[in-house]
Amino acid sequence: MELRKNFISTGGFKRIQEINCTASADTKLKEYINEINKLFPPDVVNYYSPDFQKTMMKKVDDFKSD
């Protein structure tokens, strides 16, 4: 648990997500990143992905309140 927190707080996890966006599919690198991501909740993986802010802004734009 502590190692995962340290990995996030030092910026390592964010960097992995940035690399994941540019890594070619079906490569060992992509496999390793997927294995690392399995160690974290999906919400955390999504939060640290580079397109998180864009995705959230789209949800705000598309939101229809009653």
Q: Which helix (H) or strand (E) holds 6?
A: helix 2-9
Residue 50: which of 24, 26, 15, 12 has the closest Cα?
15
Q: What percent of the chain has pLDDT over 90?
A: 83
Q: Dihedrals φ, ψ of 64, to 5°? A: -120, 115
Q: CA–CA separation, 24 vs 47, rounded Å?
A: 21
Burial class (CB in 10 A: 0-12, 13-18, 19+), 26: exposed
Per-residue confidence at 65, pLDDT binned at 50, 70, 90? confident
Per-residue confidence at 64, pLDDT binned at 50, 70, 90? confident
- What does the pLDDT look like over 21-42, one tens digit per residue? 999 999 999 999 999 999 999 9
Q: What percent of the chain has pLDDT over 70?
A: 98
- Asked if residue 55 has pLDDT above 80, the reply is yes
